[in-house]
A = this chain, B = another copy of it.
Amino acid sequence: MLIVQKYGGTSVGTKERIMAVAQRAVNTKREGNSVVLVVSAMAGETDRLIRMATEMHDAPPERELDMLLSSGERVSAALTAMAIEALGQRAVSLTGRQVGIITDSMHTKAKIEHVKAERVQLALKAGMIAVIAGFQGVTGDYSDVTTLGRGGSDLTAVAVAAALKADLCEIYTDVDGVYTADPNVVKNARKLDRICYDEMLELASLGAKVLQSRSVEFASKYEVPLVVRSSFSTEQGTLVTKEDTDMENVLVSGIACDKNQVKLTALGVPDKPGIAAIIFKAVADKGIVVDMIIQNVSADGRFADISFTVPKTDSRSALEITKSVADSLGARTVIMKDDIAKISIVGVGMRTHSGSAAKMFQTLSDNNINILMIGTSEIKISCVIEGKYSELAQRELHEAFELGKTA
């Protein structure tokens, strides 16, 4: 088999951890596989570099930031290659440029346009383990280094696996798979053996930090079989793969919780056509991503209350712009609520089975948890509740949907 293994920052965080990664790669190779590694910067290194950069410049030029940050992965790739060689197995470290990970020139958040991987293939043919510096690419004319944004090493791994048509892309991290809920909150949360791309995508974007969503999208598009597993154990992990009929029998696969949003409400906005458009255009113009939106119209139909959620990090500027727009529209006031949690249940089975929304609302209601907002997609239902109820809600929903039981 051709296997791509991606190791995150904690997996290469110390000398001993790098040696363990090298040993695992060599073992995989000696079992008769072709092995490609993708490594992140050593844990803490990227933060250290960013701290140095912000000491130099309040808003460091992004091209320079990429030059700086990409060095972290070069270091861990070179060290990992050395550790593999020390075990008697040939290895070569390769940068994003050397692999030919061609991106656009949007520094610090570049998009992959194409992966050549010629040098990877040459290395594999020569019986070597290729160790790729994750998180980085190069502009189309090979002139400047770019980086792919936080969690970009996952994307490197998936894109390289797709280019090489790898049989498997293993994402090694500090958890041993994808769980039905956060095991720190729900004691009997269960590790899933399998999950489909769409479910993983919902869970990833809903706050389960196991995989970066862009890499799941990429894996889904090119049908790269992903395995999420721990670099600290030999546990099997969770396979992220194409949806199959088995999966549809499971109503809900998992529960996610996102506590990194705030809720803004513009009260008493005169209810005229185009009001919502004006508010959300102003917010979008500031580069702020709005997640959930609800609008109530007053009994007499003259005023509306508009609520929406934005990431906590954008709360201040979102409040500011919303206030100024609301003022100009003659709204009564704008209030912000920051202690909220968005709880979501996810499962492809919802496509074909009804009743899960009702069960979710009932469960919350049975526990006197007030629902502030509701949002749905084909395979998920999200409820915004008060933050203090988030742990209780996760536990009760986990119980209600019987997620602790093996399917």
A-to-B contact residues, CB < 8 Å? 15, 18-19, 49, 52-53, 55-58, 60-61, 63-65, 67-68, 70-72, 74-75, 77-79, 81-83, 85-86, 92-93, 95, 98, 119, 143-144
Contacts and interface: CB of A to CB of B under 8 A. Distances in A.
A68 B72 CA distance: 10
A56 B79 contact: yes
Contact of A57 (B63, B86, B92): B86
Nearest to A63: B92
A61 to B, nearest CB: 5
B52 A79 contact: yes
A71 B85 CA distance: 20
B58 A86 contact: yes
Contact of A15 (B56, B65, B119, B143): B56
A137 to B, nearest CB: 15
A75 B67 CA distance: 7
Nearest to A42: B52
Contacts of A52: 15, 75, 79
A82 B63 contact: no
Given A57-B83, A64-B85, 11 more contacts: A18-B56, A49-B75, A57-B82, A57-B85, A57-B86, A58-B86, A60-B85, A61-B81, A61-B82, A71-B74, A74-B74
A360 B342 CA distance: 86
A220 to B, nearest CB: 33
A68 B78 contact: yes
Contacts of A83: 56-57
Integer count of this chain's copies in the complex: 2
A52 B6 CA distance: 21
A19 B57 CA distance: 10
A88 B267 CA distance: 44
A64 B49 contact: no
Nearest to A69: B78
A49 B82 CA distance: 12
A65 B93 CA distance: 10
Contacts of A77: 67
B81 A75 contact: no
A15 B79 contact: no
A197 B98 CA distance: 40
A15 B54 CA distance: 11
A79 B53 contact: yes
Contacts of A93: 64, 67
Nearest to A77: B67
A19 B55 CA distance: 10
22 contacts: A15-B52, A18-B56, A53-B79, A56-B82, A57-B86, A58-B86, A60-B85, A61-B85, A64-B81, A64-B82, A64-B85, A64-B93, A65-B78, A67-B77, A67-B93, A67-B95, A68-B75, A68-B79, A70-B74, A71-B74, A71-B78, A74-B74
Closest 10 CB pairs of A and B: A68-B78, A71-B71, A56-B82, A67-B78, A57-B86, A57-B82, A56-B83, A60-B82, A64-B78, A71-B74
B98 A82 contact: no
A25 B123 CA distance: 43
A67, A70, A81, A119 — most chain B CB neighbours (10 Å): A67
Nearest to A73: B71
A55 B61 CA distance: 35
Contacts of A86: 56-58
A95 B145 CA distance: 10
A277 B406 CA distance: 81
Contacts of A65: 78, 82
A93 to B, nearest CB: 5
A119 B82 CA distance: 33
A19 B82 contact: no
